[in-house]
Amino acid sequence: MVMVKQFIFNHYEVNTYLVVDPASRRCAVVDPACQASHEDEQLRKYIADMGLSLAYVFLTHAHVDHIAGLRQVCEYYGLPVTMHVDGRKLLRQAEAYGSMMGFVVDNMDDLEVSPIGDGQVLLMGDTQIECRYVPGHCPGSMCFVLSECKSVITGDTLFHFSIGRTDLPGGDYDLLISKLKERILTLPDDFVVLPGHGISSQIGKEKKYNSFLQ
């Protein structure tokens, strides 16, 4: 059974997830938000101690709090960043946004990008990772469906009884609501929601209690 390990990194308390295929020992990191050197080391040590091989570096979206450790991870493991191409502009703006939000990051536009699109399914050993495009919080927002363990990593699109903010550049409230209903709430009610910040939830609970989605 695929395993998902959660880390909480940087002063915005971003949930970074490590998706592990137990048979192949391959893994994928989603939103490497490690800002401080000890956070980088925590992620690397876990991967090494568990005997894992990092296969993918995924982004739900490219807001700077979610990519604080992106360059370090990509360069250390020699991997491209796997993301929707609409998020490239945010990579170019990482340095500027970082200075306003308390992050010291370099411009990341030179990182190699492996593009993914809506409905694309990637294999990692025996684990299938389905990519679903859910814009509205910002351009390029992706969610990752892990059907084997009945989970969906939602980034900053869907939270426990809340949704992502849409007042930042590229945000669109109506688009976010429509895409959440079309691409995420159609998942079975017992699927676990793994958000970019805060505690987990379930699809059924969000359909019933999330006032934004009524």
Q: How far is CA 196 from CA 60, 111, 125, in A?
A: 8, 22, 25
pLDDT over 70 at 16, yes or no = yes
Q: Is 182 exposed, middle or buried (0-12, 13-18, 19+ CB in 10 A)?
A: exposed
| Predicted confidence (pLDDT) at residue 47 exceeds the cutoff of 70 | yes
What is the rounded average pLDDT for all residues in the chain? Answer: 95
Q: Summarize pLDDT for 88-139 with one digit per residue, the tens.
A: 988 887 776 666 777 777 778 889 999 999 999 999 999 999 999 999 999 9
Which stretch of 93-97, 172-176, 189-193 has the lowest confidence by average pLDDT?
93-97
Tokens at 35, concatenated: 């800002």
What are the structural domains, with CATH classification, of the chain? 3-213 (3.60.15.10)
**Beta carbons within 10 angstroms of residue 166's beta carbon:** 16
Range scoring the smallest mean pLDDT among 90-104, 122-136, 163-177, 182-196: 90-104
Angle of the 70-77 helix axis to the 37-49 helix axis, nearest 10: 40
Task: Give the pair of three-digit tokens for residue 94.
Answer: 């990482």
79: pLDDT strictly greater than 80: yes
pLDDT score at 98? 66
